[in-house]
Amino acid sequence: MNIILLGPPGAGKGTQSAGLVERHGMLQLSTGDMLRAAVKAETPVGVKAKAVMDRGELVSDEIVSELIDANLAAMDAGTGAIFDGYPRTEAQAVDLDAILAKHGRTLDHVIELEVNEDALVERITGRFSCAKCGALYHDTANPPAKEGVCDSCGSTEFKRRPDDNEETVRTRMQEYRAKTAPILPGYEARSIVTRVDGMAGIEDVAAAIDGILS
Ligand code: AP5
Ligand code: MG
């Protein structure tokens, strides 16, 4: 099973991917996470991407498609892929079809997380993650069970993303509307799009996604 989780910044793509990995043994391919790792490691890709990401704009199609191709090549053929934050442009959607074909895979579902944009700024400015294992949290909607301690690994170190400020979030939303939303009709024409209410609680969204995959 290969699926795309589509939705604007803060829609819950990362949160739901983590649940799918845990429940179904799929692998999450998040271009945002790959790029952040490259920035941290100061690789040539990371150095190029950093300023673009800090502005909330999109990194080049070539860079992200190469990252996806390399990650899929390293995956077991039997493991399902969750594309989180990719594709984000029409060119990337075309690239993904070619990359999937190259690796003998097909796209089964595009799941669109429908959210109210007004809620997204609050979701994003309240987000933090475990510095050790990357588990995602929110100040009010999804805090760790024990304050200051990661539920998943017990670490007490947390971090926030540099692009999680109101100004950058607005740019990221504009980029989504202008460049990413237009890829949906192409998938609709293939009858593989299902919409899920991303404003529901995290568990309810997960149950709706499981319903689509079953
Ligand atoms: P990326 O990392 O992909 O960021 P994004 O698309 O802006 O999405 P987010 O990660 O912010 O949101 P999410 O949907 O994962 O939400 P989450 O689950 O964390 O990309 C970052 C940058 O990298 C881009 O701006 C671009 O520069 C570059 N980039 C990446 N991919 C690219 C590509 N393909 N092409 C070009 N450039 C690319 O949830 C958010 C918060 O809400 C959390 O705190 C969570 O706990 C909470 N939450 C989640 N679900 C719920 C719920 N149901 N109810 C209440 N709270 C919830
Ligand atoms: Mg994410």
CB 72 within 8 A of CB 81: yes
Ligand 1: residue of 123, 199, 202 to mutate (most ligand atoms within 8 A of CB) is 123
Catalytic choice (13, 36, 50, 123):
13
**Residue in 111, 73, 105 with CA at minimum distance from that of residue 1:** 105
For tokens 């429940």, name the residue. Answer: 23
Q: What residues contact 210, with CB distance under 8 A and at least 6 apart?
A: 23
CB of 121 within 6 A of ligand 1: the answer is no
pLDDT at 147: 97
Catalytic choice (48, 55, 105, 161):
161
CB 184 within 8 A of CB 6: yes
What's the chain's average pLDDT? 97
d(CA 128, CA 147): 13
Ligand 1: residue of 28, 31, 54, 163 to mutate (most ligand atoms within 8 A of CB) is 31
81 CA to centre of ligand 1 in angstroms: 17
pLDDT at 37: 96
- pLDDT higher than 90, residue 118: no
How large a percentage of the chain has pLDDT more than 70?
100
Ligand (nearest to CA of 208)? 1
CB 140 within 8 A of CB 126: yes
**Mean pLDDT within 159-180:** 96
31 CA to centre of ligand 2 in angstroms: 9
Ligand 1, atom 7: closest residue by C-alpha: 9
- pLDDT higher than 90, residue 173: yes
CB 29 within 8 A of CB 35: no
How large a percentage of the chain has pLDDT more than 90?
99
pLDDT at 101: 97
Q: For residue 105, indicate whether it is catalytic.
A: no
CB of 144 within 6 A of ligand 1: the answer is no
Catalytic choice (36, 50, 123, 127):
127
CB atoms within 10 A of CB 150: 21
- pLDDT higher than 90, residue 4: yes
**Mean pLDDT within 73-83:** 96
CB of 59 within 6 A of ligand 1: the answer is yes
Specify the pTM: 0.97
First to last CA, the chain: 11
- pLDDT higher than 90, residue 117: no
pLDDT at 134: 95
165 CA to centre of ligand 2 in angstroms: 14
Residue 202 Cα: closest atom of ligand 1: 53
**Mean pLDDT within 164-171:** 94
Per-residue pLDDT tens for 25-70? 999 999 999 999 999 999 999 999 999 999 999 999 999 999 999 9
Length of the chain: 214
